[in-house]
Chain A
């Protein structure tokens, strides 16, 4: 059985002009120890999906429909008390910006120990011992001293290491990392990603990595899920999707990578903008920007069709697939 099974998850944001859908019909399974990357542009609904998995959406956002089965139990229907037992304990989250994630007026040690004590009956010194142990695991120098330091006394990279250490404190089954390296400089990024990969593999922790950086996804994950305007447009094995993208949007994303352009040439980009949630186009949400758009694309919303390991939501891809099957 999958560790995490998301079924038909939809998130809406209530507003003055009625609710708008931010995430639509997202479904996927994640097995123990598996690493999944969720990619897409800003506003594609990646982070909202991540928070919805923990049932941690703040108002006016709410889960409108669907199930998030974590170890067989539905996160969406859990009471706040039950959720508290899961959050931080079996499911941990790494936030985007380490500068604002830790509470500025509490020491590193206080924030680590309180997390442990929220989930386990431990003596203070036992909790402190575990915390120092974990700080050592993320290669923080002189961890005993760091325990009594405040977040502002640490560099950005170190703070993100502390946050990874906190995520690992209770040996969770799943870590959701929301753009964990976006706020860091490039050299620190590489260190942090390597550390995250190493720790997930050695502890057999599942990882959901939310990012807009395809390079990071390639490096860390086995499977990829591409989102556009709140919908999943393509999923599959990371290597296969990157090497042979099916959906025109994924193709556009990959050809927009700077490595795909020869030096001296203009960088490629996908024309146009992602539609606003308030004015979604009819049919396929990507059709206004798509080079292959047909009448069918303007009228009917494509369904996510499964092919062996992958699935794609595109009429054109589906048609080509049917043709090859017919031959």
Chain B
């Protein structure tokens, strides 16, 4: 287990080095002067090579210095860390919606493939998959904010500070109201995928010998479906889920922009518009780190729920 985690840690470092190289190359080509920054005084910038400038940048990264944002005139990392809780909360809310709806819908459509409701869920999921997030978002705003004016359409509303930069939406009714629409828009892209994945996996599992054997032992349908079948169904779903949560980060850029959600994604788009290179690079590095962390967590989780994987020997 420890060997496995250590291995993953080095892999993570490698991934981050590659991201930093790409990010720095972008930044360097935009403005080599700024890339090297104020530290570079004695030497002429033209005389320093790319490698030298990159290693200079890396030595800063190791010390937690990802450069200073041109626009905010603050350390880029700090700017991002301030915005991160908003994005993470949005992702969490979306993941919650996906998890809470995909399992019952997926199981229902697998158990009763010919039921009217199943047909409706499956048709709606095709629709959800085909409509891009920004259209869904605008549609939601039109319905819930403009037509029925029941939910707010932009911003985080009333937020309650917890620790450090972390201010939460989940502690007040106003905050909760504000997070519903953006979270729905963000979930709309993942939910259909998960319903279909769970449905397909479940149907496969229901045909297996051990489900037939469970029936031959006279177990109750509830136990057969929700203990025997669902547990096996969710194994591959967890793996795909891990990858998809990473993808969710990318979609936050769209959702946050539509709903003026003051998170990392919205900030990133602004940084691109302003040509704020250090902030762009810092964003890439932070998102890369989130990806690696989530994937590692999912792998560990998978090992814990799947008894056929021996965690002690993983990575050995």
Contacts A100-B209, A104-B307, A150-B308; A93 near B216 (Cβ below 8 A): yes
Q: Quick check: is A201 within 8 A (CB to CB) of the other chain?
A: no
Please report the number of residue pairs spanning A and B whose Cβ atoms sit closer than 8 angstroms: 77
Chain B residues lying within 8 Å of A84, measured Cβ to Cβ, are: 218-220
B223 touches A56 (CB 8 A): no
A118 touches B210 (CB 8 A): no
What is the bound-complex CA distance between A152 and B306, given in angstroms? Answer: 11
A88 touches B216 (CB 8 A): yes
Chain A residues lying within 8 Å of B217, measured Cβ to Cβ, are: 87-88, 92, 114-115, 118, 166
**Separation in Å of the A33 CB from the closest CB of chain B?**
22
What is the bound-complex CA distance between A107 and B227, given in angstroms? Answer: 12
B218 touches A85 (CB 8 A): yes
Which one, B10-18, B56-64, B102-110, B228-236, is touching chain A?
A: B228-236
- Which of B207, B209, B306, B307 is in CB contact (< 8 Å) with A101? B209
- Of all chain A residues, the one with the shortest Cβ separation from B209 is A100
Residue of B216, B228, B235 ringed by the most chain A CB atoms within 10 A: B216
Q: Quick check: is A278 within 8 A (CB to CB) of the other chain?
A: no
Residue of A56, A83, A93, A105 ringed by the most chain B CB atoms within 10 A: A105
Q: Quick check: is B208 within 8 A (CB to CB) of the other chain?
A: yes
- Of all chain B residues, the one with the shortest Cβ separation from A97 is B209
What is the bound-complex CA distance between A104 and B305, given in angstroms? Answer: 11
What is the bound-complex CA distance between A101 and B209, given in angstroms? Answer: 5
Q: Quick check: is A12 within 8 A (CB to CB) of the other chain?
A: no
Contacts A118-B223, A152-B308; A106 near B216 (Cβ below 8 A): no
- Of all chain A residues, the one with the shortest Cβ separation from B234 is A105
- Which of B207, B213, B218 is in CB contact (< 8 Å) with A119? B218
B231 touches A106 (CB 8 A): yes
Q: Quick check: is B115 within 8 A (CB to CB) of the other chain?
A: no
Contacts A97-B209, A150-B308; A103 near B216 (Cβ below 8 A): no
**Separation in Å of the A327 CB from the closest CB of chain B?**
51
What is the bound-complex CA distance between A118 and B218, given in angstroms? Answer: 7
**Separation in Å of the A163 CB from the closest CB of chain B?**
8
B307 touches A100 (CB 8 A): no
**Separation in Å of the A128 CB from the closest CB of chain B?**
17
- Of all chain B residues, the one with the shortest Cβ separation from A150 is B307
- Which of A85, A100, A114 is in CB contact (< 8 Å) with B208? A100
Chain B residues lying within 8 Å of A152, measured Cβ to Cβ, are: 307-308
**Separation in Å of the B210 CB from the closest CB of chain A?**
4
A102 touches B216 (CB 8 A): no
B interface list, Cβ under 8 A from A: 207-210, 212-220, 223, 227-228, 231-232, 235, 305-308
A100-B209, A105-B306 provided; 7 other pairs, C-beta below 8 A?
Answer: A56-B212, A58-B212, A88-B217, A101-B209, A115-B217, A115-B218, A152-B308
A interface list, Cβ under 8 A from B: 54, 56, 58, 83-89, 92-93, 95, 97, 100-107, 114-115, 118-119, 150, 152, 166
